[in-house]
Structure 1
Amino acid sequence: MTADNLNNVRVIPDLLVINENVRPSKVAYRQFNDKSKTWIGVTWKEFADMVRSWRKAFTAFGLKKGDHAAVLLPNSITATACDLSILSQGMVPVPLHAVDTPSSSAFILNNSEAKILFVPRTLRWNAMLNVQKEYPYLELVVTTGNDAESASPDSPVPVVNLSDWLKQSEKTELEDVSIDPNDLAAIVYTSGTTGKPKGVMLTHDNVLSNVKSFSQVIDVGPDDVFLSFLPFSHTFERTVTFYFTLFLGAEVGFARSVLKLAEDLKVIRPTIFVAVPRVFEQFHNRIKVSLKSKEALLPHCRSSRNDRLEKVLPPQRFSRPFFVCFLALFFHLADAGKPHRPADSRRFRRAPENCKCRGRCIKQCHRPLLQCHGR
């Protein structure tokens, strides 16, 4: 993103406008289509058109700036269109945890005062009804699975299919919405492991402050490809793989599931993969198991100390480990609560340009986070 474009960014929806104007035919998102059994993609222009159609539906239903919308959807093109259309209307998305209990989801739905709920199947809504009957603020439930007829007869609000909801508003005229950087961009709830979930209120300025800082310390751009694996209710994933890629104009591929992650990595071929440490531990363990079965073929790879993986996979062979930069980014985000100061945003610096790993290693100012392997 150029300096001129950066100066024009005040709120998150501005990023979509820039991408549609600068790279309309570039692929923005990719996902697997269960019906055709193929990977499909949408360009920035096509995605912007999707967002406009969702905005028309919100307008036709009577939702206005400041209203809250609960989103219980798996990572997908639909989920990103839903979230960005909510923001473009000046509304506030409330992401629900996909693996959360029905009782916890019901609590968040009422506590956030959400007026509309998006679910992948009516089964999720029915499960919430089984534990909580009253939803005083909710006005509509939209199912992206187009199975509204399966809704419980006890539902206190209408349940409609996404396709029908969008079709009914095709002729609705869009109106400009004035959004301020200090307006809410999300209410993200904690997991509730130490009590009732608590909502964290994030503004557009909060989010953009992070993504602008990332661009100063991480060497990525619109040609990079991200793999989306963690749920968007996860603040790290939401900030990096959704809003940061929107800032970059980079492509995002959505993984199908944990079981098919290895296959999806081969298809999407990401340059950046955001995940929690446990995922990389599993990768490491599977590599070690595979290597042990081939010890007879690789006797020189054994180590007298700890059978160290570095003996088999020397670090200098990886000119750009795609998880390194975001491991550093994780610690950067760990400084939550501190006021954003541009002087502090360069906490991590690149290694010297003459190092063999092309200066892409990231070091901490006082002690190495990851040693440069270009000696």
Structure 2
Amino acid sequence: MPNETIPSRLFKQAERRPDAPAHHIKSGGVYRPKSYRELADEVKRLGKAMIALGQAPGFTVCLLGFNRSEWVAFNVAAMAAGGAPAGIYTTCSPEEVAYIVHHAESQIVLVEDAGQWAKIEKMLGELPHLKHVVTMRGAPRIDHPIVSSYEQFLDKGKDVTDEAFFARIAALEPQGLATLIYTSGTTGPPKGVMLSHQNLAWTADTAQRLVGGTAQDCVLSYLPLSHIAEQMFTIHGCITMGGSAYFAESIEKVPDNLKEVQPTLFFGVPRIWEKFHAGVQGKLKEAKGAKKALVTWAMDIAREATAVKMRGGEPSGALGLQYKLAQKLVFAKLKAAIGLSRARTCVCGAAPVSKEILAFFASLDILVSEVYGQSEDTGPTTFNLANDMKLGAVGTRIEGIDVRIAEDGEILVKGPNVFLGYYKEAQATADTLQDGWLHSGDLGQFDKDGFLSITGRKKEIIITAGGKNIAPKNIEAALKNHPPIAEAVVIGDRRKFLTALVVIDPAAAGEIAGAPGADPAKLRDDPTVVAAVQQAVDRVNATLARVETVKKFHILDRPFTIERGELTPTLKLKRRVVYDNYASEIDGMYEGAQDA
């Protein structure tokens, strides 16, 4: 139907299944349900408030907070009223928050608590468009003329009619702007990915088909809602299926909440699966004697059984009997202990994951479907189906999407999930979107069976193990502004945190150490020079989001050179050569490191 949008789907769910749970919110130590009727009513009141405050179609709002029912309601309300919500990572610095709020020209911002409000308050002088800040439920009262509590904001639209609100939903166009996903490019500040109502609705339908989603499904919402993947699971997918979302209490509480909820659908970035892997492996190593033999036998059976399932078959005969026994004796308890006893579909995406991790979970009777895509195509390009899977590949092309490999190896995508362009960035849009084809910036190849493998990236961008996209050049440029740092190379691709290789300026370092003209190789170990570099790193870190901060550095004993292949003839850094030349030094910064 022409006006099939996420907001219209919410109100249809509320009409058909008013008492079914849409959200589950932890309160008083237990999860309490919020029905589709209650969620739809809240969205309507929020949307009316936005209309009452003069928000004409085409407006934007920003959302800054951890995963909450209010986040979802505010997001959908903005879309319903003809606006575009833009999520901001909770770890963003005040400067980064202000950039997005100002770039989006948002007059309304939803914040979780006093801590997030403090970021806005610090930058108020640079936010001329901002008129209203709304705090989520339970936040302490903030005495400021532009701040309203959630309840106060809900009441602002009491004089707006239902007809006026639903007229806004009816007027939504499939190709109209629905949401902004701010994502870092290779250089410069974040860009706002413009996704249409069709992008969201089509992708949610596709996701439902890929996972066989039903109204009985539930998810645990815990990854940042400013990321399109979590939005697709928590907001668009759930509303489309009529399923329910449980909201984690905090990142720290995710393991406990996962065991409590036992979701039927689970999405995790590689770092989450790596943590599971480390925890389970540690427990398995404790097994002795007969217990160890039983677990080893069960894992061997699971490897055989899941190999059959990944080829589209079902374990039968002797293998089938042993597989059922292994599930009963070992895997049922193990999955429940992790929180995946009911998980029908497990997904990994947002960053590359090692084949070894996926193979380990397959040996535990947990098939993890790797998905590949980006914000610019609303999340998915290819997907590994449970009955058509290759570990180490990122799946086959999703039906309805065209994917081809350009002559230079770049992955190109065309389809109803491809974005409208970058908000207020005509040149960046023209560079990325050509004749309807999204130029992904990733390099890949298809095998004879149609499975895609990612071979590299054209863009110099870091994707951490947690799935965060980080532009290293911006951080490196900031570091070089502080003596005695002359050059810096930030590392962190597929890693837990960022580190840096640092080249010092001999003159500046000699002055700091009180030893002008000293050998640079000796200066790198001078305590005062090391302290100066640490101070420089600390100063830069203070301006960055937590995931962007440099946790460790290694001072090199020489500058980068053309002769060693580290610089081009025009003195541009050849990042891959630097990584190779200093592989042992880089690995040394991560040896024995805990999560940062």
**Shorter-chain TM band:** 0.7 to 0.9
3-state SS, counterpart of residue 67 of structure 2: coil
Name the structure 1 match of 2:193.
Answer: 200
Aligned residue type for 2:299: E
- Paired residues in the alignment total 338
CA distance in 2, matches of 1:179, 1:243: 16
3-state SS, counterpart of residue 62 of structure 1: coil
CA distance in 1, matches of 2:188, 2:60: 23
| Alignment partner of 2:131 out of 130, 133, 139 | 139
| Alignment partner of 1:30 out of 24, 41, 50 | 24
Name the structure 2 match of 1:90.
Answer: 82
In the alignment, is residue 310 of structure 1 matched against residue 350 of structure 2? no
Structure 1 residues 325-367: Cα deviation after superposition (integer angstroms, max 9, x where no partner): 56677535359559x9xxxx99766639xxxxxxxxx974816
Aligned residue type for 1:104: E
In the alignment, is residue 286 of structure 1 matched against residue 279 of structure 2? yes
Quickly say closer, same or farther: Cα 1:313–1:133, change in 2 above 3 A: farther
Contact in 1 for aligned 2:265/2:345 (Cα 8 Å): yes
CA distance in 2, matches of 1:309, 1:289: 17
Aligned residue type for 1:160: S
| Alignment partner of 1:331 out of 367, 371, 374 | 371
Contact in 1 for aligned 2:210/2:385 (Cα 8 Å): yes
Contact in 1 for aligned 2:211/2:345 (Cα 8 Å): no
Aligned residue type for 2:11: V
Measure how far apart 1:143 and its partner are: 1.4
CA distance in 1, matches of 2:149, 2:135: 5
TM-score (norm 2): 0.52
**Farther-moved stretch of structure 1 (207-216 vs 24-33):** 207-216
Structure 1 residues 102-132: Cα deviation after superposition (integer angstroms, max 9, x where no partner): 1111111111111111111233232233356
Unaligned 5+ runs, structure 1: 1-6, 152-156, 353-361, 370-375
Aligned residue type for 2:220: L
CA distance in 2, matches of 1:350, 1:265: 22
Name the structure 2 match of 1:160.
Answer: 148
Name the structure 2 match of 1:49.
Answer: 41
Structure 1 residues 195-232: Cα deviation after superposition (integer angstroms, max 9, x where no partner): 31111111111112212222333222111111112111
Measure how far apart 1:302 and its partner are: 7.9
Aligned residue type for 1:99: T
Aligned residue type for 1:351: N
Structure 1 residues 164-214: Cα deviation after superposition (integer angstroms, max 9, x where no partner): 222343343230111111111111111467431111111111112212222
Unaligned 5+ runs, structure 2: 307-322, 332-340, 350-367, 389-393, 398-448, 453-596
Quickly say closer, same or farther: Cα 1:337–1:29, change in 2 above 3 A: closer
Quickly say closer, same or farther: Cα 1:296–1:349, change in 2 above 3 A: closer
**Farther-moved stretch of structure 1 (233-242 vs 315-324):** 315-324
3-state SS, counterpart of residue 124 of structure 1: helix
Kindly, what percent of the aligned residue pairs are identical? 25
Structure 1 residues 242-274: Cα deviation after superposition (integer angstroms, max 9, x where no partner): 101111001111111232222212322211111
| Alignment partner of 1:351 out of 387, 390, 405 | 387
Contact in 2 for aligned 1:94/1:186 (Cα 8 Å): yes
The structure with the largest strand share of the pair is 2
Contact in 2 for aligned 1:225/1:270 (Cα 8 Å): yes
Q: CA RMSD in A?
A: 3.2
Contact in 2 for aligned 1:214/1:329 (Cα 8 Å): no
CA distance in 1, matches of 2:371, 2:256: 29
In the alignment, is residue 112 of structure 1 matched against residue 104 of structure 2? yes
| Alignment partner of 1:121 out of 106, 113, 123 | 113
Name the structure 2 match of 1:169.
Answer: 157
| Alignment partner of 1:251 out of 229, 233, 244 | 244
Runs of 4+ aligned residues of structure 1 deviating over 6 Å after TM superposition are none
Quickly say closer, same or farther: Cα 1:298–1:245, change in 2 above 3 A: same
CA distance in 2, matches of 1:57, 1:293: 57
Contact in 1 for aligned 2:371/2:384 (Cα 8 Å): no
Name the structure 2 match of 1:211.
Answer: 204
